[in-house]
Structure 1
Amino acid sequence: MKQQERRCPKEDSMRGFFRIAVLFTGICMLVGGVQAAEIKIGFPGPVTGPVQFLGQHMKWGAELAIEEINEKGGVLGQKLSFIMEDSKCAAPEAVAGTEKMLTRDGVAVLMGDICSSATLAVMPIVERAKIPLLVTISTHPGITEKAGAGGNPWVFRTNPQDDALAVAMGKYLAEKKPYKKVAYFAEDTDYGRAGVAAMQKELEPKGIKTQSLDYFKKGESDFVTYLTKVKGAEPDAILLFMLDQELQNFMRQYRQYGLKIPVTGRPALVSALVKDLIASGAFDGSSTIYPYYAGYDDAPNKAFVEKYTKKYGQEPHYVGFEMYEGVKLLAQAIKEAGSTKPEAVREALKKAKGDSILGTIQFDDHHQAHNRALILEVKKGRLEVVELPAT
């Protein structure tokens, strides 16, 4: 018969202490893991396609804001993270990407998209999922019409919508320019068509009549046929609704044809892609209205531009700025809600009063903010801010 193993009381005590220590460490790790869980911000946006250049700036703007927030300890003791699914700026892909982020990634909030058709398609998805969506770039009036008091309580927009931009720009053109007949040229999208309709609604009663109206397909690069037509028609101005890459091609061909007709409306004259073309002097007298311009001479903006340029090697694009301020507002709302629960974040957004480089971000009953925009004009090869209208 084996002799029973004997343990000294001290050894038993040490083993018991070790087991308790292991158990306590496991609990701390579990609790710590919960506290350290990330707050995920989802964004369906263009990683590929004709506006992938803008998608990159959107990602940069969001990530810069997240980096600054996380360096200060995050929100509610948790780090923020950014997940981007490729929408190609198209509704079907935006919907698929949004569904994926909701089911696979468990995002707490959503932002996006740049293209209005994509954003409009995502709105019913977030309404069913009951997740806040912060729109910072899309401008179609239908977004505001359907948000908040319009029926979808989960959608908020920080950037100006087409109608508000048209009111401000229409007033400026009627008061400051001698235009009587204009030619419209816009991308054949919800953005382009809504922009034209809003501008015509403002200009026609002010005596600025439509001479012609033409649309081009997204991604189109050859504008020779249109330029030949408009050169012969001699309108007082060309009202463009055209983003960066198409605008760069348009302006190059415009200059090659020796046109002298000013462009206005909503061309992306703020883009770094057309800076050298503006500097040529060929576009003096042209103008635009935009929600942001990196060259805006203001101390907070200069500080932002310096940080952005140092990190990415490029000045911030308007879309990067809007995403940066949007992420900051979401972080503020989550902090004020004291929770990442969707209903709590939504209620905090409704009451939020966020600081902005251009003013204050505060929502009306349709969850539309009314920050200032910038009217810019090309003078002696330079883009200058001439007005800061409310929207």
Structure 2
Amino acid sequence: MRVKIFAAAMAVALWGMGSASAQQQPPIVIGVSTGQTGAVAVAAEWELWGVNLAVEEINAAGGLLGRKVEILVMDNKCNPSEAVNVANKLVEAKVVAIEGAHCSSAHLASMKIIADAKIPMITGIASNPQITELAGPGRNEYSFRISPSDSAMMEALGTYLGEKKVFKNVAIIGEDTDFGRGGADAFKKVAEKAGVTIVSTDFHPQNTPDFTSILTRIQQRRPDAIATFQVGGDSINFLRQAMQLGVRIPYTGRIELGGRNQPIIEAGGMEKSISAWTYNATIDAPSNKAFVEKIKAKHNSEPYLQTWGGYDAIRVIAQAIKDANSTEGAKIKDAIRNMKFTNVMGKVVTFDDHNSAGRFVVLQTVVNKKVGVADIVEVK
């Protein structure tokens, strides 16, 4: 009898040692490169809402490969030079993958470094078409994107504008960055097919304090809409100054409908606007509803596109680590390439030959001072 008791005790002790050993294993560290200061500081905070929620859920479910998941967040200031420094630091820190780099210019600047280091980097935010062109087998195999490019979003928007015939003349304004110029160029390409005439194009440096002269010129040209390609404070300042000057022209392009612009919408400043977007909190899918409720409970706010981008990017990385049963960069990369992933909007996506899973564009509108989803368009 004593022998059996002793054997059972030893088994429990050994199991406990094994369990403790698993708990003592070093965490799996995922890097995050984002603009915590600078033009996109607030949007980066929204991104981290999603990143942190995903990590919390993964760890609550037991972690990955029996190990806890941690994130290492570094500030790239939405600046290419800083993004290079951050990418090198994350490589030195031996992160297994990177969520980032938020801004298109920062992501493009980081791509060679992560490819040389064989560390996958995935974004759900950066939208410049060059990221698509440069990624995939035979190109940069370690850069991935889960959101559509500006080209894809503008194709969807152009088709909608062509079918609905809502705008005949459009003025373009964009920040002088890869995002601003890439978005404007993509819009110009689809405008002609949609029967839309571009009456003017203006670019401005980031953190421009005064848009009066640009707004005055635009008003004089009397366009049916203004297509904007701006982020963060510049977009907010432009819209606020437009309100102060009495500009009541609908917006299109990549304008944010809702979020921090909600007061302008409620004041009637964005009526009949139409925007190409990657996510909307009102999408009727069980997974999205649960996601929205969790973010609201934690942050007293609905999730934004950046929140979704951070959340699903981390979930892709986690699924790849599970599928590969490894934290080796090359194996994670292959697992991402081969996976079927169900995003938070309930859409099943795969990665194409340009390492993109950005299949769906959300077209948003403002009607009677309320934001709604006009359509969710699947793109090639």
TM over 0.5: yes
Matches within 5 A, 1:1-391: 32=21, 36-103=25-92, 105-270=93-258, 272-358=259-345, 359-391=347-379
| Residue identity matched to 1:349 | I
Change in Cα spacing, 1:364 to 1:386, as seen in structure 2 (3 Å) is: same
**Residues 258-267 or 124-133, more deviating:** 258-267
Alpha-carbon separation, structure 2, partners of 1:34 and 1:92: 38
> Secondary structure at 1:389's aligned position in 2?
strand
TM-score norm. by structure 2 comes to 0.92
Letter aligned with residue 211 of structure 1: V
Gaps of 5+ in 1: 1-20
Q: Distance in 1 between matches of 2:81 and 2:231?
A: 21
Q: What is the one-letter code of the residue matched to 1:291?
A: T
CA distance in 2 between counterparts of 1:334 and 1:152 reads 20
CA distance in 2, matches of 1:168, 1:67: 35
Whole-Å Cα distance in 2 between the matches of residues 385 and 30 of structure 1? 49
Contact 1:244–1:268 (Cα < 8 Å) also in 2: no
Determine the C-alpha separation between the residues in 1 that align with 2:56 and 2:99: 17
Q: Distance in 2 between matches of 1:121 and 1:247?
A: 24
Structure whose alpha-carbon radius of gyration is higher: 1
**How many Å apart are 1:40 and its aligned residue?**
0.6
TM-score, normalised on structure 1?
0.89
**Contact between 2:41 and 2:232, CA under 8 Å: does it hold in 1?**
no
Cα distance between partner residues in 2 of 1:46 and 1:29: 41
Shift in Å, 1:35: 5.9
1:177 and 1:275 map into 2 onto residues whose CA distance is: 26
Alpha-carbon distance in structure 2 between the residues aligned to 1:73 and 1:239: 46
Inter-partner Cα distance in structure 1 for 2:273 and 2:297 = 30
Mapped to 1, the partners of 2:168 and 2:361 lie a distance apart of 25
Q: Distance in 1 between matches of 2:375 and 2:194?
A: 20
Q: C-alpha offsets along residues 201-238 of structure 1, whole Å, 9 cap, x if unaligned?
A: 11123321211100111122321111111111101211
Q: Is the 8 A contact 2:32 2:73 kept in 1?
A: yes
3-state SS of paired residue (2:360)? coil
Structure 1 stretches of 4+ moved >4 Å: 28-31
Give the stretch that moved more between structures: 174-183 or 139-148. 174-183
- Give the Cα separation in 1 of the matches to 2:146 and 2:292: 20
The one-letter amino acid of 1:323's match is G
- My pick for the range that moved more, 43-52 or 64-73, is 43-52
Residues 360 and 371, structure 1, Cα contact 8 Å, conserved in 2: no
* Alignment partners' CA distance in 1, 2:97 and 2:300: 29
Whole-Å Cα distance in 1 between the matches of residues 118 and 234 of structure 2?
37
RMSD over equivalenced CA pairs, Å: 2.0
Aligned length: 366
Q: What displacement does 1:33 show?
A: 6.3
More displaced 10-residue stretch of structure 1: 81-90 or 207-216: 207-216
Percent identity for Structure 1 against Structure 2: 36
User: Shift of residue 255 of structure 1?
Assistant: 1.8
